[in-house]
Amino acid sequence: MKRVQGFETGQKVMRARQKEHGVRTGALWSWLRRFGDDRNGVAAVEFAVILPVFLILLVGMIELTTVLSVDRKVGRIGSSVADLIARETEVNSAMMNDLFSASEQIMTPYNATGTVIESGVVEFEKKSGNTFTTEVLWSAGKVLGNSGTTEPWSKGSPLPKGINIPNTIKTDGACLVITQVTHVYEPILGEVMDTLLGIGTITLEDLYFSEPRQTNCIQYR
């Protein structure tokens, strides 16, 4: 009899524990369901995830717009300097300095310091077939922001490599005004762009040709 009573007591204890365990398990699942349905803070989490991507896109658009604008100004410097030289019969160092100073104004509102301008006149001489030799008659150059001018291409020498003139504009005994402009653009967030995209600086170049208007060859006095 005692064994039966003890067995029944044990079953009651087990049922009580199972019931207690079931209550705890049900409470756990109920809490998990409430947690899954809770939307408090979701917007903040989504914003924290999207913000870095949004900032990168925003900075990228700003940089792209700025680069395109600076590139247009570099091209304008090349075309303006070459065109103004082509209108003259002769130039001198004072006139070239004025052109270089005006070029700094063309770059406004962007920083023109370090922009390299190289300009000069070359003469063509036809050889056998459709080949020409190109001789530098004179040249003048300047690094904007620095004082004084330079002679980027030595008088009597051929043009340096990298300046390619199409044969279609070469004529035996004719001259051509050449202006090359180089500007190194530094992104607004240079270190960040270099780290994320490997873009530390962007080199912008423009090469412009113009035929003399009033004379065969423009002299430098």
pTM of the model: 0.72
Same domain, 105 and 214: yes
**3 state SS of 32:** helix
Identify whether 105 is part of a domain.
yes
Check if the beta carbon of residue 189 is closer than 8 Å to that of residue 56. Answer: no
Q: How many alpha carbons lie under 13 Å from residue 76 in its C-beta half-sphere? A: 13
Q: Specify the pLDDT at position 2.
A: 43
Same domain, 114 and 84: yes
Identify whether 35 is part of a domain.
no
Identify whether 151 is part of a domain.
yes
Preceding amide of 52 cis, omega within 30: no
Check if the beta carbon of residue 177 is closer than 8 Å to that of residue 119. Answer: yes
Torsions phi, psi for 32 (to 5 deg): -65, -40
Same domain, 146 and 178: yes
d(CA 156, CA 134): 9
Q: Specify the pLDDT at position 14.
A: 53
Q: Specify the pLDDT at position 195.
A: 62
d(CA 214, CA 86): 8
Same domain, 174 and 98: yes
Check if the beta carbon of residue 157 is closer than 8 Å to that of residue 138. Answer: no
Residue recorded with tokens 């699942």: 29
Same domain, 125 and 24: no
Number of Cβ within a 10 Å radius of residue 105 = 9
Longest distance between any two alpha carbons in the chain, whole Å: 134
User: Residue 126 burial (CB < 10 Å; 0-12/13-18/19+)?
Assistant: middle
Same domain, 11 and 52: no
> Domain residues for 214?
42-220
Please list the pLDDT of the chain residue by residue as tens digits (221 residues). Answer: 444 444 455 555 455 555 555 545 666 667 666 656 656 666 666 767 787 787 778 877 888 888 899 999 999 999 999 999 999 999 999 999 999 999 999 999 998 999 999 999 999 998 877 788 999 999 999 999 888 888 999 999 998 888 888 888 888 999 999 999 999 988 776 666 666 666 678 899 999 999 999 999 999 98
Same domain, 22 and 56: no
Same domain, 65 and 89: yes
Identify whether 85 is part of a domain.
yes
d(CA 81, CA 78): 6
Identify whether 36 is part of a domain.
no
Identify whether 76 is part of a domain.
yes
Identify whether 150 is part of a domain.
yes
When divided into structural domains, the chain yields a total of: 2
Same domain, 102 and 184: yes
Identify whether 37 is part of a domain.
no
